[in-house]
């Protein structure tokens, strides 16, 4: 079989044992990718690793497969899905009227944490886009999922692999905790490198607009295409629930602000704290620090996992601290605001 013929890089010196281990790992990885491809071809659901969060994937061209995503997640049909492609070159095949700024972003930022909303070609089913005449497209940056997409002759529709409204999964275990028994398999690609969903960019009168803050910073986008407007929905436009006011939420109520001040208003309650760099003095039942060194990228990677951990601690409230409002900090604050509902 083809996966036995893969070469181990010659530039590296391998001892006998590590050579066998590497060959075994490559074989196992490829085997799981083949299994995932087979399930997807048969119209089943597979949770896939991406650099942002795990996705729950189905054949984007097959409505009978896509409908299973909505069922497994309890997701309302008005919430459109993102279409995952194997490379930027695929965009021409599925999207129409692509503005130059979209091409530029696709060229420089894909594979990566960026979704482009563009007019869709006729082959993308209504179910994927909730009847909108645009679709969100993205090339995820994860070797297993790219390998999988390259094997398939269809793109993958995939929202985040969590029950609707709950915290997105950043490990295979997070997916299994909630969707075990409802999906064909999880392709385990390790913990997600970015940890926040993709930044969603649309085009209004040809000009790029950010609909959802995410793993690609506004600054990075502006380096490529000049100033972009933010059009983050705060009111709850049913067309884009990723932008709903309450989303990404733990079950324990979350309050956002200065934890010490917030705790004064909650005497006698069991409080958990989600701090950025250090946990301040106080009566906390549980605490997590997103990044002791103050690195927003590390904080992003830890955010959803730590929220899940605090959610499991039988608390009355989670008190979360804001990050400085720039770069990834802005996207993290956006998620925390929505988690606070």
Binding site for Mg ion (CB under 5 A): 160
CB of 339 to ligand TXA, least distance (A): 14
CB neighbour class for 22 (10 Å; exposed up to 12, middle 13-18, buried from 19): middle
Non-local (6+) Cβ contacts of 142 within 8 A are 48, 49, 50, 51, 111, 189, 193
Which stretches of 226-295 are DSSP H helices?
259-264
What x/- string results for residues 124 through 163 when contact with ligand TXA is judged by CB under 6 A? -----x--x-xxx-x-x-----------------xxx---
Q: Nearer to ligand TXA by C-beta: 215 or 259?
A: 215
Tokens of 225: 């295409």
CB of 164 to ligand TXA, least distance (A): 9
Name the β-bridge partners of 275: 289
Part in contact with ligand TXA (CB under 6 A); list of ranges 194-202, 251-259, 309-317, 324-332: 194-202
30 part of the interface to ligand TXA, by CB under 6 A? no
What x/- string results for residues 104 through 123 when contact with ligand TXA is judged by CB under 6 A? -----------x-x------
Name the β-bridge partners of 272: 286, 318
Q: Nearer to Mg ion by C-beta: 160 or 198?
A: 160
CB of 120 to ligand TXA, least distance (A): 8
Strand order in the sheet with 286-289: 254-256, 317-320, 271-275, 286-289
What x/- string results for residues 240 through 269 when contact with ligand TXA is judged by CB under 6 A? xxxx--------------------------
Part in contact with ligand TXA (CB under 6 A); list of ranges 5-13, 17-25, 48-56, 259-267: 48-56
Q: Nearer to Mg ion by C-beta: 30 or 168?
A: 168
Rg (CA), the chain: 21
Closest Cα partner for 192 from 34, 63, 303, 67? 303
Q: Which of residues 50-79 bind ligand TXA (CB under 6 A)?
A: 50, 52-53, 55, 79
Pairing of strands 271-275, 207-212: unpaired
Residue 156 CA to residue 150 CA, distance in Å, equals 11
Q: Nearer to Mg ion by C-beta: 161 or 274?
A: 161
CB of 186 to ligand TXA, least distance (A): 13
Picked from Mg ion, ligand TXA, none, the partner binding residue 148 (CB below 5 to 8 A depending on kind) is none
Residue 57 CA to residue 82 CA, distance in Å, equals 10
CB of 149 to Mg ion, least distance (A): 20
Q: Nearer to Mg ion by C-beta: 160 or 171?
A: 160
Q: Is 79 helix (H, G, I), strand (E, B) or coil?
A: coil
- Residue 35 to residues 54, 111, 147, 323: CA-CA distances in angstroms? 17, 23, 12, 41
Residue 179 CA to residue 263 CA, distance in Å, equals 34
Picked from Mg ion, ligand TXA, none, the partner binding residue 135 (CB below 5 to 8 A depending on kind) is ligand TXA
Question: Can you give the binding site for ligand TXA, defined by CB under 6 A?
Answer: 50, 52-53, 55, 79-82, 115, 117, 129, 132, 134-136, 138, 140, 158-160, 197-198, 200, 211-212, 240-243
């Amino acid at each position: 079989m083809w996966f036995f013929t893969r070469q181990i890089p010659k530039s590296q010196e391998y001892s006998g044992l590590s050579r066998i281990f590497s060959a075994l790992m490559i074989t196992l990885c490829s085997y799981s990718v083949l299994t995932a491809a087979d399930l997807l071809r048969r119209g089943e659901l597979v949770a896939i690793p991406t650099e942002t969060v795990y996705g729950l994937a189905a054949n984007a061209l097959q409505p009978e497969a896509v409908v299973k995503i909505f069922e497994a997640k309890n997701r309302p049909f008005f919430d459109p899905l993102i279409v995952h492609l194997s490379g930027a070159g695929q965009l021409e095949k599925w999207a129409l009227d692509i503005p130059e700024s979209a091409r530029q972003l696709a060229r420089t930022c894909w594979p990566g944490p960026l979704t482009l909303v563009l007019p869709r070609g006729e082959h993308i089913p209504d179910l994927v886009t909730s009847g909108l005449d645009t679709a969100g497209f993205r090339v995820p940056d994860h070797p297993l999922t790219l390998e999988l997409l390259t094997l398939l002759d269809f793109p993958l529709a995939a929202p985040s692999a969590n029950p609707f409204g709950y915290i997105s999964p950043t490990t295979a275990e997070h997916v299994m905790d909630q969707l075990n028994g409802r999906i064909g398999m999880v392709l385990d690609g390790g913990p997600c490198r970015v940890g926040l969903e993709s930044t969603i960019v649309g085009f209004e009168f040809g000009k790029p607009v950010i609909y959802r803050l995410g793993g690609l910073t506004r600054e990075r986008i502006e380096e490529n295409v000049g100033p972009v407007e933010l059009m983050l929905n705060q009111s709850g436009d049913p067309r884009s629930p990723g932008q709903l006011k309450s989303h990404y939420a733990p079950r324990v109520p979350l309050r956002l602000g200065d934890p010490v001040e917030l705790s004064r208003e909650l005497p006698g309650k069991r409080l958990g704290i989600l701090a950025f760099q250090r946990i301040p003095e106080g009566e906390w039942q549980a605490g997590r620090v997103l990044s002791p060194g103050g690195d927003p990228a590390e904080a992003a990677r830890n955010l959803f996992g730590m929220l899940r951990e605090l959610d499991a601690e039988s608390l009355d409230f989670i008190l979360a601290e804001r990050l400085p409002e720039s770069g990834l900090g802005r996207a993290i604050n956006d998620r925390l605001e929505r988690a606070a509902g």
